[in-house]
Amino acid sequence: MTDERSFEAATSSYRAELLVHCYRMLGSATDAEDVLQEVYLRAWKAFHRFEGRSSVRTWMYRIATNTCLSALDGQSRRPLPTGLGTEAADPRIPVVADDERLWLQPLPDALLGDPSDAVVVRENVGLAMVAAMQDLPASQRAVLILRDVLAFHADETAGLLDMTVAGVNSALARARKTMGEHTRRDGRRADRLTEHEQSVFDEFCRAFADHDVDGVVGVLASDAVWEMPPFPGWYQGAAEIGELTENQCPAAAPGDLKMVPTVSNGLPAAGMYMRDGEVWRPFQLDVISIADGAVAHVAAFFGEDLFRLAGLPAVLT
């Protein structure tokens, strides 16, 4: 019992940041949850051998990073539809899901709890950054996260990954080049929305709940992007997204949808619920980037697990 208490006291404060680390590495909130359990199991089994030659935090990051690298071995990257290298899709063509591909997932902020350092943890987990990281080989991804996001020194990173310092520096240079070429900027963080930006978000939610397609189009930037894995197509332009909403969203009348505000990847988000008889059930989780006073990007994710992770109800009445 003493060892268990000692282990918990030494490691519990790192859970939120290690979850974020696993998410950045894996691109999946559900996988990150599972891998974090494995990380803590491995750490518990090895705790009696911990000799204090590094900090507990560094030791935990070593275990977490290598557990993630093992999980990624042989696994394909998790892109968003915009990361597939295709042109924008035609909203008049019926959507068809690609359920064979592994897709990027969002990270609901509710998973991070509310420790004193959670605000710092949330600073560097934007959806655009995590999506861009998926273009990197796993080892480069690990080096970039450890060096540029977590600010480990080159020699520390080399020790964590069993690499040379020269190898770390080379991997970091290649990763930075790739990220510089492909990273889209996220919009304003949810906790920093201006009054106007908050009104834009509120209008976005109201318009869907009221089946007001013109209202949806009205808050979109002219070059806004909409994507919704597992559907591989992505859509650009307010009018095109309006046509997609009008013709392919299953909602047909006001009240068919309910929108519940939340936060994911530090961004404003909404759980969209679809009417099913007398109740409303989870349909999609919309993660929204607001920039220059308009909705610039929406990533809509499907799956009831995401609603659970976001702490959203399983059903609305």
Rounded alpha-carbon distances, angstroms, from residue 146 to 124, 160, 237, 259: 12, 9, 37, 37
| Tokens 């059903």 -> residue | 315
Residue 135: predicted pLDDT: 87
Mean pLDDT throughout 148-167?
Answer: 94
- Rounded to 10 deg, the angle between the 56-72 and 29-46 helix axes is 130
Question: 117 pLDDT exceeds 50?
Answer: no
262-316 pLDDT, tens digit per residue, is: 999 999 999 999 999 999 999 999 999 999 999 999 999 999 999 999 999 999 9
pLDDT at 75: 85
Mean pLDDT of the residues in the chain: 93
Contact yes or no for 63/54 (Cβ under 8 A): no
Q: Look at 13-22, 42-51, 246-255 and tell me which has the smallest mean pLDDT.
A: 42-51
pLDDT computed for residue 4 by the predictor: 83
Q: Give this prediction's pTM.
A: 0.93
Q: Report residue 113's pLDDT band, with 50, 70 and 90 as the boundaries.
A: confident
- What is the average pLDDT across 82-86? 94
Q: Residue 266: what pLDDT?
A: 92
